[in-house]
Amino acid sequence: EDKVVQSPLSLVVHEGDTVTLNCSYEVTNFRSLLWYKQEKKAPTFLFMLTSSGIEKKSGRLSSILDKKELFSILNITATQTGDSAIYLCGFSGGSNYKLTFGKGTLLTVNP
Amino acid sequence: EADIYQTPRYLVIGTGKKITLECSQTMGHDKMYWYQQDPGMELHLIHYSYGVNSTEKGDLSSESTVSRIRTEHFPLTLESARPSHTSQYLCASSEYGHLPEKLFFGSGTQLSVL
């Protein structure tokens, strides 16, 4: 059965800290791995990763995929209170582009 | 900025009532989705659509039904609400092309069935 496991499930840090969020997956027909940020209600797209070893970067956020070991990490450097959110990892498999998500990591950044 | 709208934002209703959750997008996206999310749990896909007159069941069994008569509109209906239907429902859309997995989400409907 395809599944996505995220860790930790929750994390509390102070502003300025660097955090690493983990996502491991088991899928039978992998196409891509995606990261979303969920603040309040609506998740917003962060990254899509399809190739192993290539880092995607956007400001203080970066992500990398290891297709051999079946995991991805999301790094956030110099965290700010606005980074507080649930970070969702999901994969897309097959030709219909459906996404399967993990439970998410709840990140709380305290001032 | 994504233009996908869900109404109502919150709904409290009694058991046995028929309800329709509305979802509309103005981006002309062909693909639309309904996800269900309970606190601390995964987003579960319950319905999706490739375009007008196309509807498919998702990975999580749901007693709800959907329709897609117009590209921009993808309502979800529960014929007889029960307390087990209490959850958050998120609508999303995406387009065919370079990043079909890039979903644009609405703000969700929090449904409580008493």
What CATH number does the domain containing B102 carry? Answer: 2.60.40.10
Among all residues of chain B, which has the CA nearest to that of A4? B42
Tell me the domain boundaries of chain A.
3-110
Bridge partner residues of B110 (DSSP): B10, B88
Q: Does A95 touch chain B (CB under 8 A)?
A: no
Q: What would the CATH number be for the domain defined by A3-110?
A: 2.60.40.10
Identify the pLDDT of residue B97.
67
Nearest Cα of chain A lies from the Cα of B108 at a distance, in angstroms, of 6
For residues A73 and A76, give the distance between their C-alpha atoms in angstroms, rounded to a whole number: 10
Identify the pLDDT of residue A30.
83
* Residue range A25-37: mean pLDDT, rounded: 87
Interchain contact, A101 vs B108, CB within 8 Å: no
Confidence of residue B41 (pLDDT cuts 50, 70, 90): confident
Backbone angles phi, psi at A56, to 5 degrees: -100, 140
Amino acid at position B16, single letter: G
On the question of pLDDT at B78 being above 80, the answer is yes
For residues B67 and B46, give the distance between their C-alpha atoms in angstroms, rounded to a whole number: 13
Q: Does B40 touch chain A (CB under 8 A)?
A: yes
Q: Does B45 touch chain A (CB under 8 A)?
A: yes
On the question of pLDDT at A96 being above 70, the answer is no
State which residues form the domain around B96: 4-113
A27 or A1, greater pLDDT? A27
